[in-house]
Structure 1
């Protein structure tokens, strides 16, 4: 769906008056869908992950096994009796399987690999068995449970996630039973009265710790089924040994313990294929437990609400497995692509730096560019910043004219500039019409063929304009991106944005320059050839990211767009979370609008189609799509920290942080920045990155729900100055000299 176009800034005053007159309570109780949908989405993903973790015994699982205890409280008839214990209706008795009857039992399944092989073998030899399933496995593989029932086998419960019941309260035991019955009902539409405790063996092994839970389970209507012949197949002793241990002596009946899950059961399947025909030849019958005992079937149908509850449970478990599986696969793909992107950034940005820093490097045949240029400064209520901005331009070492286009300011911005009475500076006033209209007005009044554009809160160094226009020595160049720097980087939020600008923006721009698909000329510092602007129709107000929009339009028109690293501009980054949110929300939404507007570039051919083939997919993937999955990284991180494996999770996070730190350090070296600001990188990854996730997610939701986003004016303090314009006072001399040293070429 295409993002809806923005509401023009010309409607700002009307919008404020409408909001002022709206009832306060109406605004307070409003719950926009662009907030509701992201919260619901993240909640749903978290719930799916928790459900999957629960079903896979990654959370709330109890792996304790109680050591053997005394058995003086266990009735003698139980310890010396048969493997089937009946404590229903307050009674205590035990049963044994008649002679020449064998009840094969398989624990811990169903398993997607080995249970089908076991079932195939049983079917081939016309034998029945009892499968003691766990709720976790039955929830994941309901089709195998249905097959068991369909082929005439019996089902018993083996708890939900295989805990030692001697550690459980009565409520905990009830939970294990009810959860497993719900999974069985959802999978096969039945419930069962057979139960086998985990970690159980023969009747004579019952002790004082396990006997109370067996009695309690019996009081809930279950027959407890132990065994009197253990194949010990879980030890993988070999096929012959499994058969020997599973074979009863002297034609006696027995309940044989085997496993169809919990590891490699190849020996079990091979042993079963020999065991069944050999004992059938000796007159043994392989029957279900109730068949062997001559008792009513252990299965009863489930109907009504209980049936639908079980089906809903199985559906949710299946959905959680599939969704989390897709998300994990998506994260793996995105993670690989991100690492590839980091590699490209390091290689190509280094190549860009080496190319433009060669002693004999020339931008084009017409170098150096010395012709005068026009600098456009669109300004809306920039009273706190505009004087420093204009004075930094007047100090330029390149011939310029400065046009300040006052876009209906109400704080006296135009008057401040006029009162300065600086040479080469003109003021153009217009009614509030938005930044694109102000820039187009400036282009129409410009006297020169090269147009530099900047923001009203930005200051240039004396060499910025000269460095910015040198690439126009190549007649194929239609626009140049400068190096936007954060001027107020000594505060925490500013420091985080400083890292983002140096690493995320300028490394990207070096890479995009080499690839020939620069996506954005920053509004703070960019230059354009007038003829290029005229050919694409000037600045457009179709999107909230007019700088990205015009850059993409120039690419599609066949112009080269390059990056000038030494054209530094110092801008005032937002200093509060609210201001940062407003700025990035507009950027994200505007970028999405620009991508949608220029989507047909993907189909274009020829030199102008390079951006569509490389740049547009690249920007769409890494600036819009991939960040949507990024919050999942943090969800999985929190999951791993809480539920394990904690050490591996921490190691993985530190590994990702190390990769980012290497890229950031390299970017800082290329940009000659002080490394001390990287000390806040871990905090940036924990806090700042999450804010950017939510911003992008909300932008998506705004677009998908057809919401409108208006331009929002950020509050400025006017505290930013270009290093070259700082008075050389004693307290600042060291900092100034450091800045000069940092600007020297590296290598």
Structure 2
């Protein structure tokens, strides 16, 4: 027994891994957004205010600038330098290469560094076919209007991409948004001069009207139009030779040709380039994966909301065969044993017992099982036992809630068992309503409706919405689908013979209520939901308490799911529960929460950095609107005021993230084999007072008052 409750050290390394991984992924997202011009979009060329310097006015299309001196060259007569900007393009680059190869022509491809990193195979193919490669910057940013840091980054990253793709360095540069030398005007000229100082040879295009017979540098983009115009130019009889830029100027300006020659990149440059390509692949793959995940998650989320609404409506109208009032179902008036496990519950045990004794179902055996309390829990319970013979008190050394309930079962004298938490306050008719579905011979257990009593503060409101919008809507669906996953420990009714048939409550998991419910399904019993049996509970009032409670719940649920995993392959009620209930829990309470932090990072990225933040925000608001509509319907079904809905949007920014982290911690602890002990929540006894304030509890003025 002691081994079951021994707590191992909580896993901590995964938090470090998470906090290290998320920034890397966010950085990859930002870099991918930058390469697509969604983050810090590439500047566009501004209209020139100053022409190019006089020294460059008559310069040839291939030039370098050294201080104020311009050195340039043109193609020899009859030589055409075909140049293609952008790409490589997976559709048109191979077609252009095939066309050029057919004519035994060579060309110069001015590639985007980002595209070169994305399609390194095409880079290698271009060079293998004898063509030349130059830089068109990394993202196609206009260097004239870009900052100095941005310009340097555009050129250096492109150089790294070339080194990583095929291990070469190219000094050729075509500045984006420019054509002929006169377009290197205004702010472009200082940028051109800086690039020349960095060792680049600038390549422009000849003016329109220049003929192949005179020598020509022709500029194309990698498009269908470029393909057609290339075909026409290759057929021009005046074009006697199709050469790369460096080959073309070799005869007219040998020194410039030498400066323009491609060289081998160093080992460190190639290693850095390979890392750049891998990092860009990571960002691109991450974006693609997240887009798919978001699409699936959004689709599943919307489907889940609509399915919940559908089954909630069916639940309102259905299952008369399980309902009291059906002509063939007798009304249960038999004695009922109520088990109340308690450990240091002096703040709430009195309110629980008062509400039970005020029940309209008078034939009760109320057993308080003290689990080794060190406060006044036992004294208060004995006060009620002295006043009312229906109350009995038994004690045991501290062994956990499941052991306490099993101990109480030994003293049960009634065919029906109701299990309650010792911080729960019952409506006067709750027990009477709760036990009626047990009149159906196939029903082994009934889940009641647990409501949040202390809901005045934000944390309480959020949990109130979760109970109504999440837990209760799920239970309505589970009943219709016959796969109820949990009869809550706060309020649940059972057949005594069903309990005994499964060996009572198992102490193998921390979610003894979920474990028991699953065991009942596998034993052939059905479990239903009676939403009119209402009990009020006290929920955690601090994030620390909430974390501890939900950590235990989630960890215990994972234990129970693993323990009963074979139900998926069974037949009858067990198989229906396994294939429907376990699959639902795995998908919506394990898988999606594990992906949620990464999805949130992507949503933040989309809202802050992409070119369409309005679209991202509109999608988020639309999904929120659907959630609020479904939550409003759930509140109406539960007879609750809908004014609480105003706190739902805030829940998505704090509460939801906390629940996701709980799932991550629980999964890591479970997979790592860590043991978690029962963690008791500090009680303040506010459930009874809150329930009375809302006006839903029974009058108990004639019953003992705790001190």
Can you list the C-alpha shifts for 1:457-513, whole angstroms capped at 9, x where unaligned?
Answer: 111111110111011011100111110100001111000000000000000000010
The 1:359–1:630 alpha-carbon spacing in structure 2 relative to 1, beyond 3 Å, is closer
- Residue 308 of structure 2: aligned partner: 345
User: Mapping of 1:199-214 within 5 angstroms?
Assistant: 199-214=177-192
Following superposition, the deviation at residue 569 of structure 1 comes to 0.8
- Residue 235 of structure 1: aligned partner: none
Provide the secondary structure at the position in 1 that maps to 2:653. Answer: helix
- Indicate conservation of the 8 Å contact 1:363/1:472, yes or no: no
- Indicate conservation of the 8 Å contact 1:365/1:473, yes or no: no
2 CA distance for matches of 1:290 and 1:583?
72
Aligned residue pairs total: 688
**Gaps spanning 5+ residues in structure 2: where?**
251-256, 700-707
2 CA distance for matches of 1:106 and 1:283?
18
User: Mapping of 1:662-681 within 5 angstroms?
Assistant: 662-681=629-648
Which stretch has the larger CA shift, 384-393 or 303-312? 303-312
2 CA distance for matches of 1:7 and 1:453?
26
1 CA distance for matches of 2:394 and 2:526?
31
- Indicate conservation of the 8 Å contact 1:487/1:573, yes or no: yes
1 CA distance for matches of 2:299 and 2:487?
28
2 CA distance for matches of 1:273 and 1:178?
34
2 CA distance for matches of 1:664 and 1:716?
28
- Residue 259 of structure 1: aligned partner: 221
The 1:595–1:322 alpha-carbon spacing in structure 2 relative to 1, beyond 3 Å, is same
1:471 aligns with 2:467: no
The 1:536–1:361 alpha-carbon spacing in structure 2 relative to 1, beyond 3 Å, is closer
1:390 aligns with 2:353: yes
- Indicate conservation of the 8 Å contact 1:488/1:720, yes or no: yes
- Residue 406 of structure 1: aligned partner: 370
Which stretch has the larger CA shift, 338-347 or 322-331? 322-331
- Residue 174 of structure 1: aligned partner: 152
User: Mapping of 1:510-589 within 5 angstroms?
Assistant: 510-589=476-555
- Indicate conservation of the 8 Å contact 1:524/1:571, yes or no: yes
- Residue 135 of structure 2: aligned partner: 157
Following superposition, the deviation at residue 251 of structure 1 comes to 1.3
- Indicate conservation of the 8 Å contact 1:570/1:722, yes or no: no
- Residue 87 of structure 1: aligned partner: 65
TM-score, normalised to structure 1, is 0.88
1 CA distance for matches of 2:376 and 2:697?
37
The 1:328–1:364 alpha-carbon spacing in structure 2 relative to 1, beyond 3 Å, is farther
2 CA distance for matches of 1:83 and 1:208?
18
Following superposition, the deviation at residue 185 of structure 1 comes to 0.7
- Residue 106 of structure 1: aligned partner: 84
Following superposition, the deviation at residue 582 of structure 1 comes to 0.6
2 CA distance for matches of 1:283 and 1:207?
30
Following superposition, the deviation at residue 364 of structure 1 comes to 8.2
- Residue 30 of structure 2: aligned partner: 50
**Gaps spanning 5+ residues in structure 1: where?**
16-26, 231-244, 727-731, 741-747
- Residue 249 of structure 2: aligned partner: 293
What's the Cα RMSD here?
A: 2.4
1:271 aligns with 2:229: yes
- Indicate conservation of the 8 Å contact 2:11/2:668, yes or no: no
2 CA distance for matches of 1:140 and 1:335?
28
The 1:523–1:646 alpha-carbon spacing in structure 2 relative to 1, beyond 3 Å, is same
- Residue 594 of structure 1: aligned partner: 560
2 CA distance for matches of 1:326 and 1:178?
28
Following superposition, the deviation at residue 88 of structure 1 comes to 4.6
- Residue 454 of structure 1: aligned partner: 420
2 CA distance for matches of 1:49 and 1:671?
43
- Indicate conservation of the 8 Å contact 2:323/2:437, yes or no: no
Can you list the C-alpha shifts for 1:110-163, whole angstroms capped at 9, x where unaligned?
Answer: 122222222222222222111111122112222211111111111111111122
2 CA distance for matches of 1:364 and 1:103?
94
TM-score, normalised to structure 2, is 0.93
